[in-house]
Amino acid sequence: MFSAQGKDEDGLNKRKVLVIILVTIAVVFLMLGTIICCYFRRKILCSKEIAGSVQKSVSAVKIKVSATRVMNGDAPHLQALSFDMIAAATNNFSSENKLGAGGFGSVYKVNKFGKI
């Protein structure tokens, strides 16, 4: 009906209700979009982690198989070197040939690579 000021209260109330409904719908869609985005992002990250884990496992198996083949003498592409050959190639483990040291010991460069 009409108020004392001459405004239509029903029209004003309908407009308020419409605004409230539209804002509520927008918020719901925004929340759903955020949830869906988070879900797919998590799914992608998990699949990458699984793929990385599988790759590490495959690499570990390859290393174990290769090590087993070397220990069994079943690796024809590897050349067995004697200590004397390595000492000669590194100039008797000269400090000039030392590249660095780590947890497994010192690392030396070989002067006559391929000619051992």
Contact 45, 39 (CB under 8 A): no
d(CA 79, CA 113): 13
From the CB of residue 110, how many other CB atoms can be counted at a distance below 10 Å?
16
Q: What is the mean pLDDT of residues 31-42?
A: 90
pLDDT of residue 109: 84
Q: What is the mean pLDDT of residues 30-50?
A: 84
d(CA 17, CA 5): 21
DSSP H or E run through 45 = helix 9-71
Name which residue leads in pLDDT, 71 or 114: 71
From the CB of residue 108, how many other CB atoms can be counted at a distance below 10 Å?
19
pLDDT of residue 1: 47
**Domain ranges for the chain:** 1-76, 79-116
Averaged pLDDT of the chain: 76
> Is the pLDDT reported for residue 116 higher than 50?
no
